[in-house]
Amino acid sequence: MDGIKVELHRDYRYTIDVKNGVLEELDKYNHTFFRYEKAVIITDANVAPLYLRNVSKQISQAGCKVHEIVIPAGESSKSLAKAEEIYHHFSEYNVTRSDLVVALGGGVVGDLAGFCASTYLRGVDFIQVPTTLLAQVDSSVGGKVGVNLSKGKNLVGSFYQPQAVIVDPSVIKTLPKRNFNEGMAEVIKYGCIFDEDLFSRIYHDDGSRAAGNLDEIIHRCCSIKKEVTEKDEREGGLRKILNFGHTLGHVLEAYFNYQKYSHGEAVAIGMYHITVKSEKKGISQIGTAEKIKNILIKNDLPYTMPYLEQDKVEEILFRDKKFSGDKITLVLLKEIGEAVLVKMDKNQLIEFII
């Protein structure tokens, strides 16, 4: 499959390569690694024993001096405290602006390593090597990097584009099933908002990662995200469609203190529930919610809304950073493959949520 060429303003370009086994052939990128004196690979404690040695060896063979930073796995590593530790390591290794940061891992590693790369010395080059399905189809593409604060997720961050995104779908084989499923929720989201063909393809697959065409599916999702982010790098308009299912999803995650639902599970419920409501309001074609429900069931994802107390929902909802003034833009579907943006006030939004 051809590399996906992302072209943003200021003549900034990079390629997203999606290829089974590409992590075994990193020498293909020697022309890139040659440009740097040192590379600092940041990964987590689960990914390190699986893939770090091999990636590290290949980058050293390209003539780069390699340093490795292994962070604890999990969302709690996406913090300013961890970023500070990483800055100290960078300074210990004498990282300069002619060096490279490589993010090898899921969205946590990508967001944290990208954030450190974007802020250290006002910007050191970085490459994303995403290893979860969610990171391969979503977080590694689009240039958002950041960390969490105790008040909320992703509250500190920036837009910072990588030099390249290297995606090896074959590493998904070691991913725990629950993480795989939540990646599938984002894949289904792309089908819902942009690509009816992608949706029906997944609808007719057997719902397992052995379906054999994961590389094509990942490639398609990256192409959609590329197309949308190129048109709207800083989320002024179109890019908002990527938030389908997420307004309610974020409420569900926060309501249960990030314990009950994973991000993808919460988004799955959000996509279904919001579409049931928008069908009732005549915005979505009748039958759209049923299709979403069936595809979620097939992919072992939840779709039923738990009981929620309205006061608590309102409190979470109204601190959403996506509110501008009194309005929020909600993403709804006209039908599978076509999203619409609907601006509404707080009361109208509550009607969609509860």
Ligand X SMILES: NC(=O)c1ccc[n+]([C@@H]2O[C@H](COP(=O)([O-])OP(=O)(O)OC[C@H]3O[C@@H](n4cnc5c(N)ncnc54)[C@H](O)[C@@H]3O)[C@@H](O)[C@H]2O)c1
Site for ligand X, rule CB under 6 A: 44, 46-47, 50, 73-75, 78, 105-109, 111, 131-132, 134-135, 138-139, 142, 144, 153-154, 171, 174-175, 179
**Burial track 113-139 (b if 16+ CB lie within 10 A, e otherwise):** bbbbbbbbeeebbbbbbbbbbbbbbbb
Closer to ligand X by Cβ: residue 74 or 287: 74
User: Of the candidates 79, 294, 322, which has an alpha carbon nearest to the alpha carbon of residue 191?
Assistant: 294
> Has 235 been annotated as catalytic?
yes
Helix (H) or strand (E) holding 218: helix 214-231
Query: Of the listed 148, 181, 182, 186, which one is catalytic?
Result: 186
To the nearest whole angstrom, how small is the minimum distance from the Cβ of residue 167 to ligand X?
Answer: 11
To the nearest whole angstrom, how small is the minimum distance from the Cβ of residue 52 to ligand X?
Answer: 11
Please return the burial class of 340, using the count of CB atoms within 10 Å of its CB with bins 0-12, 13-18 and 19+: middle
* Neighbour count for residue 35 (Cβ, 10 Å): 14
Query: Of the listed 46, 148, 181, 243, which one is catalytic?
Result: 243
Distance between start and end Cα atoms, the chain: 44
Closer to ligand X by Cβ: residue 161 or 288: 161
> Which tokens sit at 11?
């003549």
To the nearest whole angstrom, how small is the minimum distance from the Cβ of residue 305 to ligand X?
Answer: 22
Query: Of the listed 153, 189, 220, 263, which one is catalytic?
Result: 263
Closer to ligand X by Cβ: residue 30 or 179: 179
To the nearest whole angstrom, how small is the minimum distance from the Cβ of residue 310 to ligand X?
Answer: 26
- Longest C-alpha distance within the chain, in Å? 61
Q: Are 109 and 42 in contact (CB under 8 A)?
A: yes
CA 11 and chain centroid, separation: 24
> Has 250 been annotated as catalytic?
yes
To the nearest whole angstrom, how small is the minimum distance from the Cβ of residue 306 to ligand X?
Answer: 21
Closer to ligand X by Cβ: residue 189 or 291: 189
> Has 68 been annotated as catalytic?
no
Q: Which residues are paired to 328 by β-bridges?
A: 344
> Has 225 been annotated as catalytic?
yes
> Has 246 been annotated as catalytic?
yes
> Has 204 been annotated as catalytic?
no
Coil, helix or strand at residue 167: strand
Closer to ligand X by Cβ: residue 218 or 289: 218
Write out the catalytic residue numbers. 122, 144, 186, 225, 235, 239, 243, 246, 250, 263
